[in-house]
Amino acid sequence: MSVSGPTTAIVSLGMSCQSARQIRTNAEVIGAILGEEVGRNAQFFDGLIAPPAGLARLFEDGFPLFSRDDIAEGPGHPTWSAYAIRFLHHFRDDDGADIDRFFDHDLSRFTHLRDKFLALAAVPRLVFVISNSQNNLTEVAAETAIERIDFNREEIGRLREAVQAFLGRRCEFILVSTPDRRGSLDDPDLHLLTPDDSEWTGDTRQWREVFLSRLGVVPPAQQSASW
């Protein structure tokens, strides 16, 4: 889950659940760094498997909401095919996926979450977190036919441009990966974690260090710039 306070929002932008999990887990630390109280604030991409290239297309298309015809049964899990977004935790209950049964409920939920995402444009400091460090992402990719889980410099650059253009403002980005998944990305916002043995949650200590190193000082280019 993402978090926000009076002047700052720290928001997951995929590509898997670990970003949102570690933002939530480190909420108290984040608040101490920022010097303001922050609370949990669910956002659209918190629980989705959302590859950067697909997200870039989504924002370039104006961030439309899905219709029933947009959601396919697979591969592996309900999939928003146009944007390669996998819903591992939606359109389902404990007995499994049933898109028709849960569609209206989840459409209502994501309609609300989209409205909340639009409101981020007014937050003075907006920080997006993108990670591919979730260990079981390899298995998820095989199960759902994700083409790539390593970072690509052009895809990340396109996503940054697309989300900032959509919101009409500049944002900060924290990119988190591991040495074997950084791909072609060479970026000052990239933080490489030492691989851990968790299934998907990640190493809270290493993530805490990422937030400590990045959130204490607002980059000068972000302090007053407009998109």
Q: What is the pLDDT of residues 172-197, one digit of tens each?
A: 999 999 999 999 999 999 999 999 99
Amino acid type, 10: I
Interhelix angle 17-25/204-215, nearest 10 degrees:
80
Q: Quick check: 75 pLDDT over 60? A: yes
- Flag whether pLDDT at 221 surpasses 90: no
Residue 225 is predicted with a pLDDT of: 44
Band the pLDDT of 223: cuts 50, 70, 90.
Answer: very low
Peptide bond between residue 15 and the one before it cis (omega within 30 degrees of 0): yes
What is the tens place of the pLDDT at every residue in 112-148? 999 999 999 999 999 999 999 999 999 999 999 998 9
Q: State the average pLDDT over residues 42-52.
A: 94
Look at residues 25, 4, 9 and name the one whose alpha carbon lies nearest to residue 208. Answer: 25
pLDDT tier at 76, thresholds 50, 70, 90 = very high
Query: Would you tell me how many other CB atoms lie within 10 Å of the CB of residue 78?
Result: 25
Q: What is the mean pLDDT of residues 79-105?
A: 94
pTM for the whole structure: 0.93
